[in-house]
Amino acid sequence: MNGYFRMKDDGMSNQGSHLANWKKIKKLRMDRQISLSSLSRKSGVSKAYLSLLERGKVNNPSLRIVLKIAEALEIDINKLVKSSCTKYK
């Protein structure tokens, strides 16, 4: 399966190496002075779901959601997922 990516999963529901990256959404949003409501409007992702992501309560958002958030924040999606994925060998 060369070239495919898979989310790391350490078996812990609210912990894991990938959660820090989703929590980083808040820092990126705040650095850009974007409110949670504004990010929700720009991305089409509910404010409740964004809040859960920022607090680390969601541990495996879909690629579509991550892409919407990255586009709304005007950042490359790799900035959010780079260290959240491991490449199959």
Element (H, E) at 75: none
Question: In sequence order, which residues have a C-beta less than 8 Å from that of residue 24 and are 6 or more positions away?
Answer: 80
Residue 35: the pLDDT is 97
Residue 82: the pLDDT is 65
Mean pLDDT (10-residue bins), the chain, 89 residues: 41 41 86 96 97 88 92 90 53
Please provide the size of the chain in residues: 89
Residue 47: the pLDDT is 97
Residue 41: the pLDDT is 98
